[in-house]
Structure 1
Amino acid sequence: MKTKIVLTLVWIGFVGYAFFLAPPNQPDTFELIKNLSTGKIEGINPLIVALFNIMGVLPLMYSCLTFLDGRGQKIPAWLFTSASFAVGAFALLPYLIFRNPNPLFQGQKTWFLKILDSRITGVFVAVAAIALLGYGITQGNWSNFVEQWQTSRFINVMSLDFCALILLFPVLLTDDMARRGIKNQKVFWAVAFVPLLGAVTYLALRPPTIEQSHTQTLEPTQVVA
């Protein structure tokens, strides 16, 4: 219950800040979004290019957990997760607030869930995230980024959205580990204390979800293998 209250306050604060306290929209915001979406990035700060694109990778990272987690939820995980590709944490936070603990995966995985559960998908997410992160850090103009962060609502809110998504990942991690039989808490803390890099490494190395019937019990695994 405490977690739900904290997440609710975070969501309310995030929405309130985005609409009432963030810097104003700039006249060229729509043109910037259009150019980023179509790959016309000439003259755009690589930090902004990397941030915009990684905001498409992060919902995919969450999809690898939420679609499996949603099997045991009363609310449709697919709806919130799909919306997060457009509005990020604004859509994911309500799911995290209203979901219930779900340490078991009942039934069998569909072909779609098998894709999201595979290490190949995890490795793809990890490579994409690390490549974009490296590109932005090494090629970006930091002083220009700070200036745009201070004056552009789009850049400002997108940056905070990025921070929210990489910090909220551990909320789903305990149940995801349980569904895979991972009992080593060092795994949780390693992921939680290394935002983004810890999460994508976990996706690339985690064992598959254990498909459970009502009569089966989980066999603990001590390490991610």
Structure 2
Amino acid sequence: MVRKLALFFIWITFVGYTIWLAPLDQPDTWPIVKNLLTFQLAKVNAILVAIFWLMGVWPMIYACLMFFDGRMQKFRAWPYFIGSNGTGVICLMPYLILRQPNQKLSGTKDKWLEILDRRSTGVTLLLTTIGLIAYGIIAGDWQDFVLQFQTTAFVHLISLDFCLMCLIFPLTSLFDDDMARRGIHDARIFWTVGLIPLFGPLFYLCWRPSLTTKLEMRSRSVSEPESLAPLGS
């Protein structure tokens, strides 16, 4: 309950702050977004480019946890995932607040869950993140970015949104449940992953054991008593 209250407080505060700044009403918002979406990178500070596309990496990190959880909830994870790609934590956090703790996976994995469960997906996200951060550091202008952060609502809000994505990861029970679902009960892993912004969750996705083995072991344990039963029984 404490976690949910903390998440709700963060969410309602950020929603109010976003409405107060009204970024979509600013004349400089859409030209920046257009340049980012059309890859006119020469017109945009490389640091902002990195943050903008990292805000596409973060929803995928959460997707690798929440879609294994979604089929056991009273509502689907898809709308929140899709919305988070456009609005960040504003659409993501309602799912994290409303979901109920769940440490089991019901049924078999479909194609989408298969992709999300692969370590190669985590590795791809990690390499993408390293490339974006390297690009931002090498080609970016930090003095200009600080000025834009102070004067441009879109830059200000997307930067805060990125920071909140990092902050809420260890606050939600989504991470705890995914660990338990995979038989990981070491608190040191939780704190290491949770307290290292962005790279902690990425390394977790690269390292965590697949659910395929656990599901196969579970189905085998159910079928073994029947196969070992006496022929005459």
Normalised by the length of structure 1, the TM-score is 0.90
Partner of 1:51: 51
Rounded to whole Å, the distance in 2 between the matches of 1:82 and 1:193 is 26
CA contact (8 A) 1:115 1:121 kept: yes
Shift of 1:22: 7.1
Structure 2: runs of 5+ lacking an equivalent: 223-233
Looking at CA atoms only, which structure, 1 or 2, has the larger radius of gyration? Answer: 2
Rounded to whole Å, the distance in 1 between the matches of 2:24 and 2:178 is 39
SS across alignment from 1:102: coil
Partner of 2:103: 103
Shift of 1:127: 0.9
Partner of 2:87: 87
Q: Deviations over 1:2-49 (max 9, x none)?
A: 111111111110001111157795423211101100111113211011
Partner of 2:68: 68
Q: Deviations over 1:61-109 (max 9, x none)?
A: 1111111111211121111111111111001110010001011112111
Partner of 1:203: 205
Q: Which amino acid aligns with 1:30?
A: W
**Aligned equivalent of 1:184, options 174, 179, 186:** 186
Shift in alpha-carbon separation, 1:35–1:21, aligned structure 2, 3 A: closer
Alignment of 1:118-137 (within 5 A): 118-137=118-137
Partner of 1:30: 30
Q: RMSD value over aligned CA atoms? A: 1.8
SS across alignment from 1:106: coil
SS across alignment from 1:124: helix
Shift of 1:186: 1.1
Normalised by the length of structure 2, the TM-score is 0.87
Alignment coverage as a number of residue pairs: 215
Q: Deviations over 1:160-205 (max 9, x none)?
A: 1101112222222111101111111111111011110111111111
SS across alignment from 1:72: coil
Rounded to whole Å, the distance in 1 between the matches of 2:210 and 2:192 is 19
CA contact (8 A) 1:75 1:98 kept: no
Rounded to whole Å, the distance in 1 between the matches of 2:154 and 2:25 is 7
Partner of 2:9: 9
Q: Deviations over 1:120-171 (max 9, x none)?
A: 1111111111221222123211111111111111111101110111222222
Shift in alpha-carbon separation, 1:61–1:208, aligned structure 2, 3 A: same
CA contact (8 A) 1:54 1:129 kept: yes
Shift in alpha-carbon separation, 1:102–1:24, aligned structure 2, 3 A: closer
Q: Which amino acid aligns with 2:45?
A: N
CA contact (8 A) 1:25 1:154 kept: no
SS across alignment from 2:43: coil
Q: Which runs of 4+ in 1 moved over 6 A?
A: none
Q: What is the percentage of aligned positions where both structures have the same residue?
A: 47
Structure 1: runs of 5+ lacking an equivalent: 217-225
1:175 and 2:177 are equivalent in the alignment = yes
Shift in alpha-carbon separation, 1:89–1:71, aligned structure 2, 3 A: same
SS across alignment from 2:91: helix
- The structure where helix makes up a greater share of residues is 2
* Deviating more after overlay: 202-211 vs 154-163: 202-211
